[in-house]
Amino acid sequence: METTTSALDIPVNYILGRCTFGNWDDDDEPTTTTLSVLNVCYVVKERVGPWWKGACLRRIRHKLVLRDACMHLKSGQLTAVLGGSGSGKTSLLDCIAQRADGTVSGKVYFNNMECTPDIAQIYMSYVMQADRLLPNLTVRETLRYSAQLRLPGNASNFDIEEKVSKVIIEMGLRHVAESRIGGGIVRGISGGEKRRVTIAIQLLQNPKILLLDEPTSGLDSFTARSLIASLQTLAHQSGKIVLLTIHQPRSEIFKMFDKVALLSRGQMVYFGEASQMVAYFSQLNYRCPTYTNPADYFIDLASVDRRDNERQGETEERLRVLVEAYGNSMLHKDVVYEIIEDTMKPSTGRQILAQKINHFRPQNSSFFRSLFTLLRRMTLNVFRDRTSYLSRMFLLSLFVPFICIFLGHLGTNQTSVQDRIGLLYQSSQVPAFVAALNAIGLFPVLRDLYYRECRDGLYSATTFLLAYLLHILPFTIFSTATFCSVVYWVTGLQPQSENFLHYSAIILFLHLFGEIMSVLLMGAFMNPALATSNASIILSASGLMASGFLRNVEKMIPIFQWAAWGNIFKYAGEILAANEFHNLQLTCGINGTFCLPNGDSYLKLVYPDAVENMTRNFWAVTGFTSATFLCVIVVFKIRGIPNLS
């Protein structure tokens, strides 16, 4: 294999090595990486005005978030982006990682080659502010599943275990490797350890560049210091570029930075060696007082004081002078000169790199491998969560005693007709509702993890949703079987096994439909509470309008009749009615009042063609459930991946 080093400073065998068995980890290959940011400007659109005016009527305001940001970073450096709240730190990382929502101009170069989303996905890892981890897995399991999703398909189990153990040691997680992550209800590892797990996940891919947004937020100062020390070691020993944003670093942390970028309202006030910062500002007559943390002093210096107009004017003028001074400084000119000089170099390796890029995306690990990894991870997560597990298995069964006690054995007299209708109505509604409730408890955390991993390019919406559907299927089948077995036989519905199977199949489909509908709404709305209320309204309105148990559909106004054709409950209702009332013998009273001699007379009145349409209706129910699942995939694809912090 060729071992020449391209002009991009990436050995060709590094690229090729990723697809060779056992050689996907390039730790032993010394490479110099550069990351250059040249005159990056970032503009976002904001809609102004009350929401009820809608997207079209609200005025659009363009906001300049970053202006002419320039940075030149080399491997082995730990760089911090400092600045007050809203100064553009996160936006700068978003632009570098090619994840910005708005319009970006200027250039970002990776090893002197213009950075594209493909390059960013392969060589950069982005640790967002929030830890999105499954609470019921241990640290090692979390990393193992992540490795299976991230590493190339030819990585063996041994390779994966080795890599996982390595990052566990690297991030100082050995003592909690077998502990659960934990969450809001179950206590698990500490906040600092969760941050380390999140970083460790990104390190699995052995990125050349590690971007971290506020890695120390929410941590006490000791934990924050030890985390930054680990990142410093990572940069210095592994030769990575580590770029992080940080709020109020204590002075010991400040000393660990090799370089610092200071931002104020999207403009650079300083970019250079951390050790030169005090001298630079002293020469501008802003001397950091003795015994003052330089980071605090510089962040204050770069912030606008908005307490009153006078102070705002003063601080804005000071910032204008500082920005101008930095723009005219040799420090800035050297950075720009260095970037331009580097990018002018001939780069024969670019085409090779460009050709290879498509082959080494993480999602190129096979569809089935991703699907089974997700399936195993989701199943383990639900098995470990006692509440979710019990609720999935037995929540539907909780309704059984109520139904059985309330209705008892139905018999065949005239009043049993109404009891049957009530039972069938409840049978169609309850499973769908219970499924929606189960989804609300479990899906949001999986969805947020999907958003993060999908943004990292690990798998698609289809793989995720298919894995979700497959992992709930055994629970859905079990809880339906338990519910139907008791309700059906205790209440004494038609005793033939064929009828029981028809009844159970419809309950299974409705149970599944409720879950899929709920997932669809959680794809459309970020807020799970909003999704739940919408799911409840849709399911009750559908059952009310289309099932025919509360009101004969034929007697409704035409618009409702047409709408019923597009509703799964119409077909499910017809099947349940035909299944129960066809060939059912009823007894009449002795006082000669109106009497239905058998179930078919009831069907003739309310569901005239239900028996003939059984097969068609079964196909319709199957089709509706499948089509709703396809709609979920479409909704997730259209909605895209929100830029979660």
Ligand X SMILES: Nc1ncnc2c1ncn2[C@@H]1O[C@H](COP(=O)(O)OP(=O)(O)OP(=O)(O)O)[C@@H](O)[C@H]1O
| Identity of the residue, 303 or 482, whose beta carbon is nearer to ligand X in the bound complex | 303
Coil, helix or strand for 45?
A: strand
| Identity of the residue, 46 or 609, whose beta carbon is nearer to ligand X in the bound complex | 46
Please tell me the distance from the alpha carbon of residue 512 to that of residue 520, in angstroms, as a whole number: 12
Q: Site mask, ligand X, residues 237-276, x = CB under 6 A?
A: ----------x-----------------------------
Question: For ligand X, which residue of 65, 97, 104, 234 counts as binding (CB under 6 A)?
Answer: 65
Measured from the CB of residue 57, what is the shortest distance to ligand X in angstroms?
Answer: 19
Please tell me the distance from the alpha carbon of residue 227 to that of residue 225, in angstroms, as a whole number: 5
Residue 317 contacts ligand X per CB under 6 A: no
Residue 447 contacts ligand X per CB under 6 A: no
Q: DSSP letter at 548?
A: S
| Identity of the residue, 86 or 492, whose beta carbon is nearer to ligand X in the bound complex | 86
Q: Which helix (H) or strand (E) holds 636?
A: helix 614-639
Question: For ligand X, which residue of 20, 21, 46, 300 counts as binding (CB under 6 A)?
Answer: 46
Residue 87 contacts ligand X per CB under 6 A: yes
Question: For ligand X, which residue of 33, 36, 90, 494 counts as binding (CB under 6 A)?
Answer: 90
Rg (CA), the chain: 31
Measured from the CB of residue 518, what is the shortest distance to ligand X in angstroms?
Answer: 29
Range in contact with ligand X (rule: CB under 6 A) among 78-86, 145-153, 474-482, 556-564: 78-86
Q: DSSP letter at 260?
A: E
Question: For ligand X, which residue of 91, 111, 142, 363 counts as binding (CB under 6 A)?
Answer: 91
8 A C-beta contact, residue 520 and residue 635: yes
Residues 99-158 that bind ligand X (CB under 6 A): 101-102
| Identity of the residue, 62 or 555, whose beta carbon is nearer to ligand X in the bound complex | 62
Question: For ligand X, which residue of 18, 67, 72, 89 counts as binding (CB under 6 A)?
Answer: 89
Nearest-10 crossing angle of helices 528-546, 568-581: 50
Residue 216 contacts ligand X per CB under 6 A: no
Q: DSSP letter at 307?
A: S
Measured from the CB of residue 369, what is the shortest distance to ligand X in angstroms?
Answer: 34
End-to-end CA distance of the chain: 42
Q: DSSP letter at 65?
A: E
Coil, helix or strand for 73?
A: strand
8 A C-beta contact, residue 58 and residue 276: no
- 103: tokens are 């319009």
Residue type for position 608: P
| Identity of the residue, 292 or 643, whose beta carbon is nearer to ligand X in the bound complex | 643
Residue type for position 206: N
Q: Which helix (H) or strand (E) holds 561?
A: helix 558-565
Please tell me the distance from the alpha carbon of residue 424 to that of residue 547, in angstroms, as a whole number: 10
| Identity of the residue, 58 or 166, whose beta carbon is nearer to ligand X in the bound complex | 58
Residue 444 contacts ligand X per CB under 6 A: no
Q: Which of 427, 392, 398 is nearest to 543 (CA)?
A: 427
Residue 85 contacts ligand X per CB under 6 A: yes
- 30: tokens are 């010394």
Largest CA-CA distance found in the chain, in angstroms, rounded: 109
Residue 585 contacts ligand X per CB under 6 A: no
| Identity of the residue, 65 or 506, whose beta carbon is nearer to ligand X in the bound complex | 65
Residue 418 contacts ligand X per CB under 6 A: no
Question: For ligand X, which residue of 7, 16, 44, 526 counts as binding (CB under 6 A)?
Answer: 44
Measured from the CB of residue 92, what is the shortest distance to ligand X in angstroms?
Answer: 7
| Identity of the residue, 212 or 519, whose beta carbon is nearer to ligand X in the bound complex | 212
Q: DSSP letter at 305?
A: -
Measured from the CB of residue 90, what is the shortest distance to ligand X in angstroms?
Answer: 3
Residue 88 contacts ligand X per CB under 6 A: yes
Question: For ligand X, which residue of 11, 83, 188, 294 counts as binding (CB under 6 A)?
Answer: 83
| Identity of the residue, 248 or 379, whose beta carbon is nearer to ligand X in the bound complex | 248
Range in contact with ligand X (rule: CB under 6 A) among 89-97, 182-190, 448-456, 580-588: 89-97
Measured from the CB of residue 129, what is the shortest distance to ligand X in angstroms?
Answer: 8
Please tell me the distance from the alpha carbon of residue 497 to that of residue 117, in angstroms, as a whole number: 58
Measured from the CB of residue 613, what is the shortest distance to ligand X in angstroms?
Answer: 52
Contacts of 473 (CB under 8 A, 6+ apart): 512
Residue 378: count other Cβ atoms within 10 Å of its Cβ: 21
| Identity of the residue, 87 or 391, whose beta carbon is nearer to ligand X in the bound complex | 87
Range in contact with ligand X (rule: CB under 6 A) among 30-38, 85-93, 140-148, 304-312: 85-93
List the beta bridge partners of residue 114: 109
Please tell me the distance from the alpha carbon of residue 507 to that of residue 503, in angstroms, as a whole number: 6
Question: For ligand X, which residue of 76, 86, 183, 441 counts as binding (CB under 6 A)?
Answer: 86
Residue 78 contacts ligand X per CB under 6 A: no
Strand order in the sheet with 209-212: 113-114, 103-110, 34-48, 59-74, 267-273, 259-264, 78-83, 241-245, 209-212, 124-127
User: In the complex, which residues of this chain contact ligand X (CB under 6 A)?
Assistant: 44, 46, 63, 65, 83, 85-91, 101-102, 247
